[in-house]
């Protein structure tokens, strides 16, 4: 039995995933990099996978840390992203992995907090003070 559908033959890097949307993706890229750094601190031996297909191919997790004993999935919303699918995305991730996180900038924090209220087991990190070069502060 497989919980996570196999991804494409090669994983995307964060930079390749961000190139899909041009300038608007710079915000997402900085958040992905910040979250990858946090996950590497928690799971030093984990493999970081970008754009992992989950939920029978219906959704893709932006970042997944795969360790021998644990898997954590992250959905990243940049400043210019829509949050209309966020509840569906993180709900599908919960069916596939034991730990799910959302990382959002200030302008999407209300949506993130509402989803966290509905799904309290999903972690939320709000990045405040977004600049062209990334978040100044990550706070739960």
pLDDT tens-digit map of 7-47: 444 455 666 655 555 545 666 777 888 889 999 999 999 99
Strands 71-76 and 99-105: parallel
Query: Token pair for residue 53?
Result: 């297909």
Beta bridge partners, 71, equal 66
| Tens-place pLDDT, residues 108-131 | 999 999 999 999 999 999 987 654
Whether 134 maps to a domain, the answer reads yes
pTM: 0.75
Q: Which of 104, 91, 92, 101 is nearest to 135 (CA)?
A: 104
Residue 70's domain spans which residues? 26-139
Whether 46 maps to a domain, the answer reads yes
Give the domain CATH number at 100.
3.40.1350.60
Residues, the chain, total?
140
pLDDT for 75 beyond 80: yes
Whether 10 maps to a domain, the answer reads no
pLDDT of residue 81: 82
Tally of CA atoms within 13 A in the half-sphere of 79 that contains its CB:
15
Whether 56 maps to a domain, the answer reads yes
- Rg, C-alpha atoms of the chain: 14
């Amino acid at each position: 039995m497989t919980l996570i559908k196999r991804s494409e033959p090669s994983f995307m890097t964060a930079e390749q995933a961000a190139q899909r949307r041009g300038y608007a993706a710079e915000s997402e890229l900085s958040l992905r990099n910040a979250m990858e750094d946090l996950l590497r601190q928690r799971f030093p031996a984990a493999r970081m996978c970008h754009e992992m297909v989950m939920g029978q191919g219906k959704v893709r997790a932006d970042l997944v840390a795969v360790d021998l004993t644990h898997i954590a999935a992250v959905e990243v919303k940049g400043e210019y992203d829509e949050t209309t699918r966020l509840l569906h995305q993180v709900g599908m991730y919960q069916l596939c992995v034991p730990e799910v996180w959302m990382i959002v900038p200030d302008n999407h924090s209300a949506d993130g907090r509402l989803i966290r209220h509905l799904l309290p087991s999903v972690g939320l990190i709000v990045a405040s003070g977004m600049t062209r070069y990334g978040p100044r502060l990550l706070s739960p």
